[in-house]
């Protein structure tokens, strides 16, 4: 929910002028305020945040309309004894971004949001911990896999945008290594992992000439933002995002479109920041990507979602000729309370409405579902929740990119009434400063240690050595990407964002190395660093 509000706010800050021209700005502001009003109520004390109401297990046990839910509404809170830096940090980011949205139209409310944001950030930073350790009922459904460092950086970046207070920029720069801001190279951006968003925001600050003494560190952030672009456009060489045969970015089976909508927004926003700063291109290993090319690729992903795909199916409910009719959504799948107020009991919904064949009785107009699989296949079935579920965080970033594309080449950088999007741009950076490369302290070496022939195929065992060449800092939370691997791996575990070293708290000390092995009947696999923290 907090990520949804942050992304709606960022969408308005970047493209509020386009929304106003389309007559939709008022709807966007109303949606944001609905969320921030709730956050204000959920934050009754500086170091208290109510993070969840109800729990996934009991809520999933019933299939009911929201008007007549009978499941537990127990509230779970975060406080100094039960910290949750990731959830508090994201909520701080949401309120800081929203304060910018309301700065002119409702300054009193904007100041209230900013006060809450500052308190929430201080709470998140002082009392550190993962929210799903303090609210364990959340772990099964929304596990904090990336931890809380990305949210702390994300909140600091938004607070700098909202306040121009250099202490937040200092925080972003001084914690770049220790919190992974300049160590993560990823093309995934979601409610859980914020690094790419932080990197694009930091790059924007740099391009606007607001980095001050931290220009060198923000340049390293920008290099990671460039990685996001290159990997998304297939120009990175390693770590490129896979695509379906129809051209859709494909990250994972369950709700893949969440990464496509958020990624499309980041590409659009970064493209416009580059163009405004008169930057010619992002320089990728496989060739440059101009702002126009970046925007064109973002448009291709939006077009796919809206129906330009092998199935000619729109994945936005209610849009186009063919779209999902059986979204996995309780309110949409049960007859309207206004039409039939007869009570639908907990299990009755599962017995009568959930297995019902045919279209949902209520159209979930505008919702973006999880989308197709890696082969562009899609099964429109209420029970197929991995493809037909429609979370709010699918839609939030799509608001912005749709507004941008609706404007075509006519990007209105004026500030509509009630908004202050801080888009003043400094002159272009020098070519040398723009393209400088900061070497990673991590070096990867592969060697074949054995070979054998089996059933006419030659197999090789490879030893991969990962070395930390830092003089005095330890590598923590190392994530590795592996591609073109066709056999078993020993010494690593597979996680959502890559492979990690085995052990309870694996790390690589300064000058130290770790080794893992794999075997297959193929040339060496591609191995690269996805993310790390350097402390």
Residue ranges per domain, the chain? 1-175, 442-534
Are 261 and 305 in contact by the 8 Å Cβ rule? The answer is yes
Q: Return the pLDDT at 428.
A: 34
Burial 285-315 (b: 16+ CB within 10 A, else e): eeeebebebbbebbbebbebbbbbbbeebbb
pLDDT value at 357 more than 50: yes
- Considering the entire predicted model, what is its pTM? 0.92
CATH of span 442-534: 2.60.40
Q: Which among 152, 250, 160, 237 has a CA at the least distance from the CA of 201?
A: 160
Of 187-191, 383-387, 429-433, 495-499, the range with the lowest mean pLDDT is 429-433
- Quote the CA–CA distance of 444 and 525 in Å, as a whole number: 12
Are 493 and 499 in contact by the 8 Å Cβ rule? The answer is yes
Q: Return the pLDDT at 435.
A: 39
Is 528 exposed, middle or buried (CB count within 10 Å of its CB: 0-12, 13-18, 19+)?
middle
Residue 66, number of CB atoms within 10 A of its CB: 9
The residues annotated as belonging to the active site are: 328
Q: Return the pLDDT at 439.
A: 74
Positive or negative, the Cα torsion across 434, 175, 99, 165? Answer: negative
Q: Return the pLDDT at 414.
A: 44
Helix-then-strand count for the chain, H and E: 17, 15
pLDDT digits (tens, 9 = 90+) for 192-238: 999 999 999 999 999 999 999 999 999 999 999 999 999 999 999 88
| Per CATH, domain 1-175 is 1.20.1250.20 | no
DSSP H helices, 68-135, are 85-101, 107-126, 131-134
Phi-psi region of 299 (alpha: psi -120 to 50; beta: other; left: phi over 0): alpha
- Quote the CA–CA distance of 528 and 510 in Å, as a whole number: 19
SS3 of 367, please? Answer: coil
- Mean predicted confidence (pLDDT) in 7-13: 98
pLDDT value at 415 more than 70: no
Do domains 1-175 and 442-534 share one topology? The answer is no
Are 152 and 179 in contact by the 8 Å Cβ rule? The answer is yes
* Residues comprising the chain, all counted: 535
Q: Which among 270, 232, 274, 265 has a CA at the least distance from the CA of 250?
A: 232
Q: Which among 189, 366, 376, 342 has a CA at the least distance from the CA of 264?
A: 189
- Mean predicted confidence (pLDDT) in 287-292: 96
DSSP H helices, 360-426, are 385-388, 392-406
Per-chain mean pLDDT for the chain: 93
pLDDT band, residue 505 (cuts 50/70/90): low
Q: Return the pLDDT at 409.
A: 60
Q: Return the pLDDT at 411.
A: 53
């Amino acid at each position: 929910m907090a990520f949804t509000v942050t992304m709606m706010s960022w969408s308005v800050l970047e493209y509020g002028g386009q929304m106003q021209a389309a007559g939709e700005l008022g709807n966007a502001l109303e949606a944001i305020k609905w969320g921030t009003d709730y956050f204000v109520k959920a934050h009754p004390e500086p170091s208290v945040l109510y993070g969840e109401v109800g729990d996934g297990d009991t809520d999933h046990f019933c299939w009911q309309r929201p008007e007549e839910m009978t499941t537990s509404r127990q509230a779970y809170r975060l406080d100094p004894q039960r910290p949750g830096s990731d959830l508090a940090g994201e909520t701080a980011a949401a309120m800081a971004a929203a304060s910018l949205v309301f700065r002119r139209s409702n300054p009193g409310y904007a100041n209230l949001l900013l006060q809450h944001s500052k308190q929430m950030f201080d709470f998140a930073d002082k009392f550190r911990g993962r929210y799903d350790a303090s609210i364990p009922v959340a772990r099964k459904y929304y596990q904090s896999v990336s931890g809380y460092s990305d949210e702390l950086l994300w909140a600091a970046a938004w607070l700098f945008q909202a306040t121009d207070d250099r202490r937040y920029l200092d925080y972003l720069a001084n914690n770049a290594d220790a919190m992974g801001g300049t160590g993560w190279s990823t093309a995934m951006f979601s409610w859980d992992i914020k690094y790419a968003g932080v990197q694009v925001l930091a790059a924007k600050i740099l391009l606007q000439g607001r980095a001050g003494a931290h220009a060198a560190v923000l340049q390293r952030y920008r290099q990671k933002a460039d990685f996001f672009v290159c990997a998304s456009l297939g120009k990175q060489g390693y770590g490129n995002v896979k695509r379906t045969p129809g051209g859709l970015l494909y990250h994972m089976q369950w709700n893949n479109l969440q990464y496509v909508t958020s990624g499309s927004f980041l590409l659009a926003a970064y493209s416009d920041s580059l163009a405004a700063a008169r930057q010619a291109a992002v320089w990728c290993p496989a060739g440059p990507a101009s702002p126009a090319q970046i925007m064109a690729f973002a448009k291709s992903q939006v077009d796919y979602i809206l129906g330009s795909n092998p199935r000619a199916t729109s994945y936005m409910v209610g849009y186009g000729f063919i779209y999902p009719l059986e979204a996995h959504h309780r309110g949409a799948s049960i007859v309207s309370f206004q039409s039939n107020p007869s009570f639908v009991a907990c299990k009755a919904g599962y017995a009568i409405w959930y297995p019902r064949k045919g279209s949902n009785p209520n159209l979930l107009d505008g919702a973006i579902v999880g989308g197709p699989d890696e082969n562009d296949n899609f099964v429109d079935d209420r029970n197929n929740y991995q493809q037909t579920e429609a979370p709010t965080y699918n839609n939030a970033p799509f608001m912005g990119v749709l507004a941008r594309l609706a404007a075509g080449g006519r990007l209105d950088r004026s500030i509509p009434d009630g908004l202050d999007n801080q888009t003043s741009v400094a002159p272009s950076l020098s070519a040398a400063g723009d393209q400088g490369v900061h070497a990673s302290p991590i070096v990867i070496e592969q060697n074949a240690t054995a070979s054998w022939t089996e059933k006419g195929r030659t197999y090789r065992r490879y030893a991969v050595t990962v070395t930390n060449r830092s003089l005095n800092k330890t590598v923590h939370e190392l994530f590795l990407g592996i591609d073109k691997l066709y056999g078993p791996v020993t010494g690593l575990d597979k996680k959502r964002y890559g492979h990690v070293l085995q052990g309870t708290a694996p790390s690589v000390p300064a000058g130290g190395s770790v080794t893992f092995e794999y075997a297959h009947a193929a040339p060496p696999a591609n191995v690269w660093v996805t993310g790390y923290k350097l402390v």
